[in-house]
Amino acid sequence: MPAKRSQTARSKASELVLVLHGPNLNLLGKREPGVYGATTLRQIDAQLRRLASELNVDIETFQSNSEGEIIDRIHAAAGRVGAIVINPGAYTHTSVAIRDALLAVRLPVIEAHLSNTHKRESFRRRSLITDIAVGQVMGFGAQSYLLALRAAVDLLAPRRG
């Protein structure tokens, strides 16, 4: 069974950001710490929840190694969340299906990556998400997620009043 984590808060779309973690991110802290750092996914999610509280916004976090589960979560976001922060992991470079799902829900998307993918293998330099995202944050380790959440909250500000 694929690993998955979920944390849900209030459901007012203008106050809810969905944070999606793609495949193998459940192994953070153990997997290639020289590339991804020593911070675990649980620690990143806790940092995100603290920041969300400070910024007066709710978040829902979800991790899966399954492309279909990620797509289902994107579909379920329509009309329910205000923005999506996504680290598609390896699906960044391969998943037309995740790209299509993001386009279908018509929500602002911010792409986040722990490492700077442009400093890595050439196949990691191409993202199927970047051109449909409002922006991309990469190379700052766990801080990439926090910066992306701040950007998402800024995007929601006009709708939040």
What's the CATH number where 128 sits?
Answer: 3.40.50.9100
65 occurs within a structural domain: yes
From the candidates 21, 36, 91, 145, give the one annotated as an active-site residue. Answer: 36
- pLDDT tens-digit profile of 97-142? 999 999 999 999 999 999 877 666 676 667 999 999 999 999 999 9
- Contacts of residue 90, Cβ cutoff 8 Å, sequence gap at least 6: 22, 23, 24
On whether residue 119 sits in a domain, the answer given is yes
Q: Is 113 a catalytic residue?
A: yes
Residue 66 within a domain: yes
Q: Residue 12 falls within a domain, yes or no?
A: yes
Residue 52 lies in a domain: yes
The number of domains in the chain is 1
Measuring CA to CA, which residue among 118, 133, 112, 120 is closest to residue 47?
A: 112
How far lies 108's CA from each of 37, 43, 94, 102, 152, in Å? 28, 25, 21, 9, 8
**pTM for this predicted structure:** 0.86
Query: Domain containing 37: what range?
Result: 4-156
The answer to whether 118 is a known catalytic residue is no
In a domain, 80, yes or no: yes
Let me know if residue 116 belongs to a domain.
Answer: yes
Does 161 reside within a domain?
no
Catalytic residue, chosen from 21, 75, 93, 113, is: 113
pLDDT tens-digit series, residues 53-112: 999 999 999 999 999 999 999 999 999 999 999 999 999 988 999 999 999 999 999 999
